[in-house]
Structure 1
Amino acid sequence: MADSEGAAPKRRVQVINGVPRVYEDYPYWDTEKKQCRHRRTYIGRLDEQGAFIPSKSYLAGQALSAVDVVKSADRRFYGAGYLLDHIGKVTGVEADIAQSFPSMKDQIISLAYFLVQEGESAVYRFPRWMLSHWHRLTHALGSQGISRLFGSITEEAKLDFFRLQAKRRLEREYLAYDTTSISSYSELIKQVKYGHNKDRERLPQINLAMVFGEESGLPVYYRLLPGNISDISTMENMIADAAFLEFAKVKLVWDMGFFSAKNVNALYHAHYKFIGGLHPDTTLACSSVKAVRDGLVHYANYIEADDVYCISTMINWDYAWSMRNGGEERGKRRMYVHVYYPKSRLIATRFSYSQQLQEQAIPRH
């Protein structure tokens, strides 16, 4: 027999022993007899005025149906998500994502929350993470959906986001530029090349160049470079990035690893001001120290705030730049060289020399 599920029951009255009894009639199809039959359920009676008086069992059933029964429980982790949500609002990252990726804002932010909280977990675990953590999405996002999302992020939208972030960071802090290497043996990534990492190990790698806030550490922009590009060679890329990010009045500060004649000429060509360190063994460093060595340690050259001796001199830099049309620019460019000598190093050197005199018992004349 098969019930006619979903059919609304009809109330029927039958007089038994002089009492009008009320039933709910449920029609159903009898598959064996091939005919429609009825099943009745007693629910009450009628009084003398014809008013319905429900039975106790009927009232109990009605009371149960009115109660919302909890069929399942759900538990989610909220703390980290709320913290990241607040950070996104305070730093302006959320607003810039919404402006650059308006149709996929919630997907990108939710994926970012997953990557921050799960560390090195693969992205394919994101759907499982969604079941136990708070996020922005109202529907599931599977592996195929994630692939489509990544494929729909255009370079134009990413660059727009970088510009917004750069402008926001420059309002409060200086920007820093640095490179790092990521080792990889993948044969599918074209930018994987043999190069030297910071430990001078020759490995297949990708170089990651990044611009970030000096104080906040928040990234503003990144660029993937072939692994065989050295720190010195990244200067031209950095100059191109600064132009793209629409920086005004750029002043570059670099460590001694970026110094080369080619980089200095590139900065002069781009009309950027710069301050950079020199390796002590470079020709410019050696000649500059030699020129001021005799008069460097003098009270007139002492900077008390930094506890160093300093002499600054102006030199003429031999500028040369090859143009795209085959021509060449040459000339002299003004450059200031600052030679510093920490007082603490002076004291340590003199003390060390005095010890050597005592140990070796060098006769004095």
Structure 2
Amino acid sequence: MQAIKQSQPSGQLSFARSDNSTLVVRLSGDWHLRHGLPGPDLVLKQLDTAPKPARLTFDAAGLGDWDSGLLTFLLGVSEICHTRKLPADWSPLPEGVRGLMQLAEAVPEKAGARHEAAHSSFIEQVGREAISFARSLDEFLAFFGEVTIAFARLAVGKARFRRVDLMIVIQDCGANAFGIVTLVTFLVGVILAFEGAVQLQQFGATIFVADLVGIAMSRDMGAMMAAIIMAGRTGAAFAAQLGSMKVTQEIDALTTMGISPLEFLVLPRVTALFLMIPLLCVFADCMGVAGGAFVSVTMLHTSLRSYLIETKHAITLTMFFGGLFKAAVYGIIIAVAGCLRGFQCGNSSSAVGDAATQAVVTGIVYVIVACGIFAFVFNVLGI
């Protein structure tokens, strides 16, 4: 009998030939996944060694402690045997291992599942993503319709929610967000001023940096940056809060008590973000202009008074209120996206994190789509 031994840091795997037709797989030592284990490919190499065996069996006399790593190895060996139609004798294995192996193989893998996943074409993948986006948009619009109905009930005084919840969310969406909005929008104003100065310095027209920064911030960038910040900060928080409530069955409890979760949980959040994000947009516009002024005064040697006068002449009320209108729409989109993903959350702790991630992605994507639509419409209207 000739044995070939392969050692690993944890369990040990060796092979023997009891005769020319039977390959004996010897398992010894402690098979713990954290220590690293041999792979089924070692068995595959022995099966390809001449003379090729017609049968496979095991010797587990030296097997010590084991965990799921042993099962993973045995399932890989089992798949090799099924593929080669090689009979295998599993009886020498411990009873617990055999029982778990039977459970693992109770539901066979769908035929061709791996082949289909591995060979899906690019067109097919694009189609799947397009269908997924269409379904997501349909769910968003349906949920937005339900929120609109809830607002109609609020207008006639029939909606049920606690006013203190609204005040808490307003504080979170408003005052508590000033710090991050200040930092990001000030730096955006600095960046816009730098980019504009590089080109305008060639013509000696650095004073028009004020026009560039003022118009960009008031028309689009102020509302856009405030929306993206709130999507990552508040939209994710809405999804996580509602997702946690769904996992702990608090939403089901509200339904059982005859209280609409949409009115009690969603209305305060949508209302708060709808009211606060235009104020954040005004603040973002001011901080962006301040960032541009910092660059112009310190690096372009433009007086602060001249910069502010030029900004005043560049910005019109149409631009300013157009930016506020965009911000209000963005706020509704972010709040609805966050609440929708929270309501769609699964019943596990990991699903809460997934819901928060999806809320951020959905909110930012829809905000950018809305920004593109606004840009086209405002251009057609000459605004």
When the two structures are superposed, what TM-score results if normalisation uses the length of structure 2? 0.18
Larger Rg: 1
- Structure number with the higher helix fraction is 2
- Structure number with the higher strand fraction is 1
